[in-house]
Structure 1
Amino acid sequence: MLSKSKTVLSFCLFVLLLLSFGITYEQVSRNNTLLKYPANGSLVDIGSRFLHIDCRGEGTPIVILESGLDTLGSLSWSAVHDQLAQTTRTCAYDRAGIMWSDPRPRTNNLMQDIASDLNKALVISNEKPPYIMVGHSFGGVYITKFTELFEKKVAGIVLIDSPHPEQMDLVQDVEIPLILSLKNSVFQIVKPIMDIIGLTRIINNQASFAFPNQSQYHSEAVKAFAPLSDHTLSQEILNYSVGLKQIRSLRNFGDRPMFILGNIVNYTKMSDLQLANAGLSRDIVPAVMEQDRYMFNDQASWSSNSHLKLFHNTSHYIQFEKPTEVINTVLFVISEVKRQAD
């Protein structure tokens, strides 16, 4: 009996030692990350915390780049940022808690706070409107909210494969397989622990994935900051449905130049597991694909000066897959904004 107790005690001490080592490793790695990957832009004091904003080039209107629900932050635009800055001033930034930006305090209105943070950073940095707002994925929802709150500052809009306010309506009644639901629940509990004890960092270090047209340096930087950014990302993902509801009525941008780039996913080629991971079932795939076309066309109706281009052979990250298309789209909107101003 005594021997068994000693075995249990030894195991517990080993686990505690392992956890202590992991926590120390993670904290040291976080400090090293800030040294190895210094911020490209400026850390702007927006009131008790700093927001990272990276503005390049000269000219007006200023292009503002908003990333989607991921941990790439300002580096989501690394394949297009410099090229756009050759034409006009172009700013990418990290939302609070992502990459180089400090996390925000607890909030009851994430959408409004994200828009307010960006506006404060732009005002303090003396980046004067008019702005052309460019949003990838859920970044399109964020810039829609920004346009509602600061509409006089927004002269043009570009949505890159961004969700529609009714995105979830067709799939809300789809039953997620029990095993997948349990897996997601367990992951939500375990992932923060993995971030703290260094396990996320160890796993990331083994991965060699990079987007097309993304440098290895930027890929490694995103991986290095991921354990810090993951908590904020989880909060934003939990706010997904709430965010879409907040922009349901925001469908009138007047005659602002607007351009929609969308990717039509061929769900018929996905396996049942892949569909389940996307919250879909095979029997609604035709309706979902038709809904995607409807939603992009509907987004294009939100302005009387709007254009739409759909892709069928690309990924969700169009700015990496087809950077020239994104650059040309933004340049077109810049020219339209200038034409209206003349």
Structure 2
Amino acid sequence: MTSSTACLCRPALHPSSSFQRLQLPLVALLMSAFSLSTYAQAQAQPQVQATVAPAPINEQMLDVGGRKLHAILMGDEKAQATIVFESGFSMDLSAWRRVAPQLAPRAKVLIYSRAGHGQSEPSPAPVSLQQSGRDLSALLKAAQLPPPYVLVGHSYGAFLIRDFASRHPEQIAGLVFVDPAHERYDQVLKPLDAARLAAEQAHLERGAPERFRADVRYIQSIMDAGKLPDAGGPLPDVPAVVLTSTRRYAKPEVLLHTPAGMSAWRQLHSDFFAQFSNGAHVLTPTSGHHIQFDEPHLVVAAVDQVIRLSQEQAQRRALEAARAKLGGDLQAAAAAADPQAAVELAIRAPGLSEADVNNAGYAILGDGKQAPRAQLAALVLGANARLYPKSDNAADSHGEVLLKLGRRAEARAEFARALSLAEATGRSPRVLDSYRKHLAEAAELAAKP
């Protein structure tokens, strides 16, 4: 990525004062508009100082099919992780100015303004999650950023990354939800004070700038339905972190900020996170809805955690695939012209450990009553013992299969080698006793005619 100057510190818009008062909650949606109060608070704080050299920044207007979107790419082109940020309602790419630069030294980072936001050109198509997803797909292609992606969405941006991930699950490495919007919030909030909720909704639409009123109506239709429209399918079970604001408001200005409203918000987030098997649900009483402004370090930590977990998950899946392939390769080795050579090659596949090969050998051996299986197991465990000549466990395992084949002298020699190695490395008394038992058993059988 080539370097250029890009501003990450100016506001995306200056909404009307009536819109500002209600934009934070958007009732159920938690409107993510960049309010003047939030902007003033963010500007009053010192800019986060990077602890490493700034990553290269490439600011572009990228074509997404006859229109151009404003995007900033930064970070290490060689990094494995690609992080894509989706801003909340009415917010442009500057929403991530306190987060993206901190992640850029160790990842590829894309922040952008959706159609009609910031410097991005508007779209003639009606507002929808699907249209935004199509724009994002085109943008990623234009930016030459291949998957997999870690998607980060704030508020309404969470709807967008959910829709994209449900349609492209194979492209997703992880998900981070920053105080995410939830489609069932109005349904939960309405029983608390239906009249107040309706008044806030009406006030919100009247106060919204003209260019965002279609967005407001579309978002409200999602809240009324209580579900995302035309979802592509379930979300992939990838590492995920949900960040939830649990701030207490002494004088709640909107229904959302009442104790009951905040409790419902927290519970919806908890229920939403339950679908993921790996990750964390993080609560913060310090931040308001804009956690990326109030506590950017929490967002950075969440992204780092998801990247780490996704890399670990990828490694586990790669190992599972390698183990499955090993089983097939070892079975095929039995019919090879040179079974021994085929076994030696199979167990040296990248990523496999001594234990993996050992377990594969025992799986082939089974109960040891089938001679062909026992013979193949002897080839596997023998090759493993040679590959790891200082392993007492590999030597002992080889001895066991040799004993089952009736090769008593060879088994006795392997058990003796296992015991010697174990004594030299200070193995536990339990392990030493088991090796002595095996050696004695082999010696006793060897003495019989």
Among 67, 76, 90, the alignment partner of 2:87 is 67
Per the alignment, residue 207 of structure 1 pairs with: none
Check 1:185–1:307 CA distance in 2 against 1; reply closer, same or farther (3 A cut).
Answer: closer
Decide which of 147, 160, 169 is 2:187's aligned counterpart: 169
- Work out the CA distance in 1 between the residues paired with 2:198 and 2:173: 47
Q: Is residue 330 of structure 1 aligned with residue 317 of structure 2?
A: no
In structure 1, distance between residues paired with 2:232 and 2:242: 16
Among 225, 235, 242, the residue aligned to 1:260: 242
Which shifted more, 47-56 or 249-258? 249-258
The equivalent position to 2:107 in structure 1, one of 77, 88, 100, is: 88
Count of residue pairs brought into register by the alignment: 252
Contact 1:144 1:247 in 2 (8 A): no
CA contact (8 A) 1:66 1:139 kept: yes
TM-score of the superposed pair, with normalisation by structure 2 = 0.52
Distance in 2 separating the partners of 1:305 and 1:338 = 12
Q: Deviations over 1:100-139 (max 9, x none)?
A: 11000041x6110001101111012210000000001111
Q: Is the 8 A contact 2:166 2:234 kept in 1?
A: no
* Secondary structure in 1 matching 2:185: coil
Contact in 2 for aligned 1:130/1:153 (Cα 8 Å)? yes
TM-score, with structure 1 as normaliser: 0.67
Cα deviations across residues 193-231 of structure 1 (Å, max 9, x unaligned)?
xxxxxxxxxxxxxxxxxxxxxxxxxxxxxxxxxxxxxx1
Matches within 5 A, 1:1-40: none
Q: Distance in 2 between matches of 1:111 and 1:53?
A: 19
Kindly tell me: are residues 243 and 126 of structure 1, through their superposed partners in 2, closer, same or farther at Cα, counting changes over 3 Å?
farther
Structure 1: how far apart are the matches of 2:114 and 2:277? 30
1:69 Cα deviation from its structure 2 partner: 0.9
Q: Secondary structure at the match of 1:239?
A: helix
Q: Secondary structure at the match of 1:54?
A: strand
Calculate percent identity across the aligned residue pairs: 26
Tell me the CA shift for residue 170 of structure 1.
2.1
Query: Residue 168 of structure 2 corresponds to which residue in structure 1?
Result: 150
The one-letter code sitting in structure 1 at the alignment partner of 2:114 is: R
Q: Is the 8 A contact 1:137 1:161 kept in 2?
A: yes
1:99 correspondence with 2:118:
yes
Separation of aligned partners in 1, 2:198 and 2:231: 34
Structure 1 pair 249–102 and aligned structure 2 pair: CA distance change class (3 A): closer
Which structure 1 residue ranges, 5 or more long, are not aligned?
1-38, 193-230
Q: Does 1:270 align with 2:270?
A: no
Q: Which residue of 1 aligns with 2:416?
A: none
**Deviations along 1:129-166, whole A, 9 cap, x unmatched?**
00000001111111001111222111100000002221
Could you tell me how far 1:235 is from its partner in structure 2? Answer: 2.4
CA distance in structure 2 between the partners assigned to 1:288 and 1:177 by the alignment:
11
Q: In structure 2, what is the equivalent of residue 130 of structure 1?
A: 148
- Higher normalized contact order (CA 8 Å, seq sep 6+, divided by chain length): 1
Q: Answer with 251-260 or 146-155: which moved more.
A: 251-260
CA contact under 8 A between 1:111 and 1:243: conserved in structure 2?
no
Pick closer, same or farther for the CA change 1:182–1:330 going to 2, 3 Å.
closer
Given the alignment of the two structures, is residue 160 of structure 1 paired with residue 178 of structure 2, yes or no?
yes
Larger Rg: 2
After superposition, residues 300-315 of structure 1 pair within 5 angstroms as 300-315=273-288
The one-letter amino acid paired with 1:97 is: G
* Alignment of 1:44 onto 2:38: no
